[in-house]
Structures are given as C-alpha cells and as structure tokens.
Amino acid sequence: MPDYTQMLYDIEVHSVEGIRRYFDQGGNPNEVHEGIPLFTSMV
C-alpha cells in the first residue's frame, strides 16, 4: 500500500515523480483519509 502521508507531501511540493510513484504502487485518488478524499487534496 502506498504511503498516503508521503503523497500529501508530494502534492504540496508539486513532485510529479512522487505523485506518479503513489499511483504506480496502486494508490487510489478516491482514498479517504480523515474524511477528505485524496482527490480533493490534489485540487
């Protein structure tokens, strides 16, 4: 399972490689963490 916390950091610093790695490892943009979907964090 990809690291959700690392993904949030990668979004914050605009790391294309980190975001791509998250999805390559099976990450889901609809994953909910603390009541907020990842996709909402991305936009």
1-43 pLDDT, tens digit per residue, is: 788 889 989 989 999 999 999 999 999 888 888 898 888 877 7
- The token duo for 22 is 């998250």
Return the pLDDT at 36: 87
Q: What is the value of pTM for the model shown?
A: 0.77
Q: Within 10 A of 7 (CB to CB), how many other CB atoms are there?
A: 24
- The token duo for 15 is 């790391």
What is the tally of structural domains in the chain? 1
Return the pLDDT at 6: 92
Q: Within 10 A of 25 (CB to CB), how many other CB atoms are there?
A: 11
Give the amino acid at 13: V
